Amino acid sequence: MPILTAVTHADLIADVRTLAAKIARDTTWRPDWLVGIGRGGLVPAVYLSHAAGVPMQSVDYSAQDTTRAAPAIERLAALTREGQKLLFIDDINDSGRTIAKLRGLLEEAGGTAGAMRFATLIDNRGSAAKVDLAARTIDRAVTKDWFVFPWEALAPATSIAADAAAVPERTA
């Protein structure tokens, strides 16, 4: 059984404030929109939208269904071609699979690379995909905990354990 580590509401607030401060400090790149990545990035994106004073949109990629995500991807890519900057938000960059896939889909849709950045609450330094901003960094070679975010804590324990068991390389 993996070690389940709760990310508390206080942790969430601290991480959001860290990201908001990093956004505020960057005078060369300010997002016009935050984009919450469904499902894990939606709650942090709402909080960060308020903390940073940046409006928010979303893209649903929770089922990793590119067909379902396609309309939002097209709309978001079009915004970048109009010169708008998008900061995509997710809860954790663990393997990098979600971020790499979204980057690829956005590029295929004609998105402007320099107008899209990614941020997470927790970033795995060994991830295959890199983020531009992170509140915290872990090293999966050392930290094997399965992080349970406040919105996930409402799920049955069996569901949380099944999610963790589905990717044993992250927790073993």
pLDDT tens for the chain, 172 residues long, are 678 999 999 999 999 999 999 999 999 999 999 999 999 999 999 999 999 999 999 998 776 778 888 999 999 999 999 999 999 999 999 999 999 999 999 999 999 999 999 999 999 999 999 999 999 999 999 998 999 999 999 999 889 888 888 877 777 6
Q: Is residue 163 one of the residues assigned to a domain?
A: no
In a domain, 83, yes or no: yes
Neighbours of 146 (CB within 10 A): 19
Q: Is 131 left (phi over 0), alpha (psi -120 to 50) or beta?
A: beta
Our count of domains for the chain comes to: 1
Does residue 8 lie in a domain region?
yes
Sequence letter at residue 170: R
CATH code of the domain covering residue 145: 3.40.50.2020
Establish if 31 belongs to a structural domain.
Answer: yes
Domain that holds residue 152: 4-158
Return d(Cα 66, Cα 165) in angstroms, integer: 24
Query: What pLDDT is stored for residue 172 in this prediction?
Result: 65
Confidence (pLDDT) at 81: 98
Quick one: pLDDT at residue 36? 97
